A and B are shown apart, each in its own frame.
Chain A
């Protein structure tokens, strides 16, 4: 993951003396042409807005109210307000536990799909179909199921298992469940791909040498599917960390996550400078996490 740009650069350096200068020049020209649309896209729609946002994060107030001055007070506010720290920690807690839950529950499923199931592709497509609908729609589906007069409560009531409707929505459980459900494919697909690449003969060899199934799982299957585990966990962690919909639609006021807070700061609070500052802190935190994951995963990678 982390090492790939580096290696490709050294490869190119190796090739250089072997290719004649003119051809090399043309190749470079072609490469530029191929990369141009993508780079331009990223530049116009990501980099420029990000820079604009960064400028906002340093402004003292919204420009249409009064002429702003440059200041670091937004960052100071963000760091010194305990509410934001609380929200940040809560977000980290939610996304960590969602990642862990997804890892634990998706690994067996992905293993079954990759190694045991007969109609792997069909089952995989069935698993993915719900995720072809919009995330908003799925969040509302949960509301329909879990609200006080929702299907779950009605059913439990009819079965006389509960006296009065349970409060299933607008708490942290609903938020975690919403996140969990939203990111199942993000976890399943990399795991499925990684486990599928583990050679069956290695599992047989392990068994043959006297390992029971747990030992085989622990010593062979998991280490060899680690690339999938790392990328799945990274995807889910980042995606759930920045999720807005689940906390907004399924959570109560005490379950807000950082992205929903940023969203509200921009829209309801109309405080773009503070929102921008919070966004950049979030970005920095996630970059740090990503860097950490890369370092760890480059350690665990073996020679292939």
Chain B
């Protein structure tokens, strides 16, 4: 599916998933997934619910053995070895803290079952608790902690055993938005300090964008695209990725002409321009994607090589920007975000010029 642009030098990868296909009964939940996660990387796996993200994570964690394909953790092929022999630990979706153990015992668990000396255990637990800012909470039970604190215990419990890879299965899902944003920053900082590889599964694109160094976008069991946050946002490879990551306008049409990688797209009766990266030919039925913040209105639009006119249907004021819904001649409505104060505000019913620079739009299949 996905070509691997990275140079092939095995030692720099902590996790390698090769051609993993997985079935639950007769349902294919993962379809030839290939991905490589670099050492010390914060890798986000992003996709809508039911896309197969959790299954992928559970395969990497050794909880599920894939129907086909293989997984390498730190260059070691995972055989049928159970999770307790893997060099990964998991932060579970609902945390799965041991309710009958206090914070200390929860965090110490991984060390205790490895029969480490008691002194080492208390030293390591103290270190890790300090790292997650829970010093002084050793004797509390999970039920006596707030959601954010429980979160930190789960994290501490996973990192105390110094795993090669930490797998996180939407652990912030149960927190309220504000706390979630705070924890995202903390989690990212923690990962930077530890320099441990994190694989983070989420359906929340903002969460993925804030924390990840690179992201893999999964949809219906297929890895749609893998790349840095910028790459994914600026150069999505499919309609799904363009639409799922951030906000976009999609216009269906036929390629009229291509010149110097700039295509003219006919969506009768209008013609638009966009960059044509990749293999597009005249006559192809394709899709044009342009982000709302790249759509220009008014004078700025008139300066663009191709523009048309539309009627403002709706204006939403959201502080720093205004979102306009502009209806075009062909009946399609486009979203346009304009920074407040950048241009004179339009009102509903106004006829405005609308357009964009050809490099700000691109064709997708």
A residues engaging B (CB < 8 A)?
A: 199, 201-202, 204-212, 215, 219-220, 223-224, 302-304
A82 to B45, CA, bound (A): 75
A207 to B144, CA, bound (A): 25
The answer on a CB contact under 8 Å between B113 and A211 is yes
User: B90 is contacted by which of A208, A215, A219 (Cβ under 8 Å)?
Assistant: A208
Nearest first, the 5 A-B pairs at minimum CB distance are A209-B110, A201-B96, A211-B113, A302-B100, A205-B96
A residues near B100, Cβ cutoff 8 Å: 223-224, 302
Instruction: Given contact pairs A210-B110, A219-B113, A220-B98, enumerate 17 new A-B contacts (beta carbons under 8 Å).
Output: A201-B92, A201-B93, A204-B92, A204-B96, A205-B90, A205-B96, A205-B97, A205-B157, A206-B98, A207-B84, A209-B157, A219-B109, A224-B100, A302-B99, A303-B141, A303-B143, A304-B99
User: A208 is contacted by which of B83, B114, B144 (Cβ under 8 Å)?
Assistant: B83
B residues near A210, Cβ cutoff 8 Å: 84, 110, 113-114, 161
User: A201 is contacted by which of B83, B88, B94, B113 (Cβ under 8 Å)?
Assistant: B94
Shortest Cβ distance from A302 into B: residue: B100
User: B99 is contacted by which of A211, A215, A219, A224 (Cβ under 8 Å)?
Assistant: A224
Shortest Cβ distance from B88 into A: residue: A208
A122 to B331, CA, bound (A): 60
Q: A201-B94, A202-B98 are in contact. Are A208 and B109 (CB under 8 A)?
A: no
Shortest beta-carbon distance from B157 to chain A in Å: 7
A residues near B92, Cβ cutoff 8 Å: 201, 204-205
The answer on a CB contact under 8 Å between B110 and A302 is no
B residues near A204, Cβ cutoff 8 Å: 63, 83, 90, 92, 96
Shortest beta-carbon distance from A73 to chain B in Å: 51
Within residues 96 to 139 of chain B, which ones have a CB less than 8 A from any CB in chain A?
Answer: 96-100, 109-110, 112-114
A residues near B161, Cβ cutoff 8 Å: 209-210
Shortest beta-carbon distance from A163 to chain B in Å: 51
A302 to B110, CA, bound (A): 21
| B171 contacts chain A at the CB level, 8 A cutoff | no
Shortest Cβ distance from B92 into A: residue: A201
Shortest beta-carbon distance from B248 to chain A in Å: 37
Q: A204-B63, A304-B143 are in contact. Are A212 and B99 (CB under 8 A)?
A: no
The answer on a CB contact under 8 Å between A302 and B114 is no
Q: A219-B113, A304-B143 are in contact. Are A207 and B96 (CB under 8 A)?
A: no
A304 to B141, CA, bound (A): 9
Shortest beta-carbon distance from A197 to chain B in Å: 11
Q: Can you offer 29 A-B residue contacts whose CB atoms are under 8 A?
A: A201-B92, A201-B96, A202-B96, A204-B63, A204-B90, A205-B90, A205-B98, A208-B63, A208-B84, A209-B110, A209-B158, A210-B110, A210-B114, A210-B161, A211-B84, A211-B109, A211-B113, A212-B113, A219-B109, A219-B112, A219-B113, A220-B98, A223-B100, A302-B99, A302-B100, A302-B141, A303-B99, A303-B144, A304-B99
A220 to B90, CA, bound (A): 17
Q: How many residues of B contact A (CB 8 A)?
A: 27
Shortest Cβ distance from B144 into A: residue: A303
A residues near B219, Cβ cutoff 8 Å: none
Shortest beta-carbon distance from B59 to chain A in Å: 13
A224 to B190, CA, bound (A): 32
A254 to B158, CA, bound (A): 59
The answer on a CB contact under 8 Å between B113 and A209 is yes
| B82 contacts chain A at the CB level, 8 A cutoff | yes
A residues near B109, Cβ cutoff 8 Å: 206, 209, 211, 219
A219 to B83, CA, bound (A): 17
Shortest beta-carbon distance from B73 to chain A in Å: 13
A215 to B61, CA, bound (A): 19
A residues near B112, Cβ cutoff 8 Å: 219
A residues near B141, Cβ cutoff 8 Å: 302-303
Q: A204-B63, A204-B83 are in contact. Are A199 and B96 (CB under 8 A)?
A: yes
A302 to B100, CA, bound (A): 5
A residues near B158, Cβ cutoff 8 Å: 209
| B89 contacts chain A at the CB level, 8 A cutoff | yes
A residues near B96, Cβ cutoff 8 Å: 199, 201-202, 204-205
A77 to B93, CA, bound (A): 65
Chain A CB within 10 A, most for which of B110, B113, B161:
B113
B residues near A205, Cβ cutoff 8 Å: 90, 92, 96-98, 157
Shortest Cβ distance from B100 into A: residue: A302
A224 to B142, CA, bound (A): 14
- 0/1 interface trace, chain B 151-169, chain A, CB 8 Å (1 if under): 0000001100100000000
Chain B CB within 10 A, most for which of A199, A210, A215, A223:
A210
Shortest Cβ distance from B90 into A: residue: A208
Shortest Cβ distance from B82 into A: residue: A207
Shortest Cβ distance from A205 into B: residue: B96
A302 to B140, CA, bound (A): 11
- 0/1 interface trace, chain B 66-90, chain A, CB 8 Å (1 if under): 0000000000000000111000111
B residues near A303, Cβ cutoff 8 Å: 99, 141, 143-144
Shortest Cβ distance from A223 into B: residue: B100
Shortest beta-carbon distance from B208 to chain A in Å: 23
B residues near A224, Cβ cutoff 8 Å: 99-100
